[in-house]
Chains A and B, each alone.
Chain A
Amino acid sequence: MTNENKKFVVSPENPNGILVDMTAEEIAQRKKDLDAMPSELDRALNSLRDSRNNLLAKTDWTAYSDVTMSNAMKTYRQQLRDATEGLDTVEKVQAYEFPEEVSN
């Protein structure tokens, strides 16, 4: 990544852009940005949570006050909420399979 500490600057003086070295402040900010980047594991877990939340949302109606939630649904939703437990490597996240969907 040889150009990561350079910036491409477009300006009225250089409308086609020129390659410029970043300032010390910009390099420091760049390092902060990189340090704040989520790890591959965090990214995998976040993606899993997106999918899990999607599955939970599909069954939210079963929690309405005028609906009696079945025990199978209670178990299913709890399994979804617990989906990320023990997933401490990317490989485990990728191998995880959601429980089979329950109709209610």
Chain B
Amino acid sequence: MAIDKIQAESMNLADTYAFTGTVSGTPQDMVQVASASGGGTGTQAFNGCFTSTYRNYLIMASISLDSTAVCYIRLQNSSNQEIATNYFNAGAFSFVASDGNSGFNGGSWSANQINVGTNILANNPHASFQVFVFNPTDANMKTVVHTAYYAQDDDAKIKSVRMSSIYDTNSNDTGIRFVPQSGNIKTTSTFKIYGLK
């Protein structure tokens, strides 16, 4: 709307207006597509969060569990069913503890999930997941996931994992879910998903 039109119609900028027009212009390169707190359940699912609108996605998750366990990540197919097969994971893991520092490389071939492989200590500082998802909805490509993870484990060890995973099937994966191996995702957890052009 032109500034002279706003002035001519004495638009009150403190008022509320029902907008019925069309927004034009270049879309943002990074847009939030989903946001939620933890549901207090054994699964936190994001149905339909991946669409062809965005090529890649970033997920920022801060997760607390009510039970000491690993929190798996699984993709969902276009019917919102969890995909629990055929993931290949490769990663580097390190920890710091009162008895020193250590690290090693690890991974799993044809696993049932994207698995950082270390526990989140129940009711303790939240684990943080930074997850990049590449090409999830391109049915001609395999979905690749890069994960950076940090959490306090059992035995007061501070653990950091950087890993890459692939779902080894060309498919349209329209959602993702976080699944603790046992217990529930606490309501203090937060999830934000951004689409990246």
Contacts and interface: CB of A to CB of B under 8 A. Distances in A.
Interface residues of B, number: 45
Contact of B41 (A19, A23, A32, A43): A19
A8 B185 contact: yes
A71 interface: no
A8 B102 contact: no
Interface string B15-50: 000000000000000000011111111111111110
Given A8-B36, A11-B47, A47-B155, A37 B42 contact: no
Given A3-B184, A22-B43, A17 B154 contact: no
A10 interface: yes
Contact of B42 (A5, A9, A50): A5
Contact of A29 (B34, B44, B82): B82
B74 to A, nearest CB: 9
B41 A3 contact: yes
B182 A15 contact: no
Nearest to B100: A54
B58 interface: no
B114 interface: no
Interface in A1-55: 1, 3-12, 15-17, 19, 22-23, 25-26, 29-30, 32-34, 36-37, 43, 47, 50-51, 53-55
Contacts of A6: 39, 41-43
Contact of B184 (A4, A23, A29): A4
A69 interface: no
Contacts of B67: 1
Nearest to A22: B43
B182 A37 contact: yes
A7 B102 contact: no
A3 B102 contact: no
B101 to A, nearest CB: 7
B100 A34 contact: no
B107 interface: no
A54 B82 CA distance: 37
B182 A11 contact: no
A54 B101 contact: yes
Given A9-B45, A57-B102, 5 more contacts: A7-B43, A9-B80, A29-B84, A30-B43, A53-B102
23 contacts: A1-B183, A3-B39, A3-B40, A3-B41, A4-B182, A4-B183, A5-B42, A6-B43, A7-B39, A7-B41, A8-B45, A9-B47, A10-B191, A19-B41, A22-B42, A22-B43, A25-B81, A30-B43, A30-B179, A34-B182, A37-B182, A47-B154, A50-B95
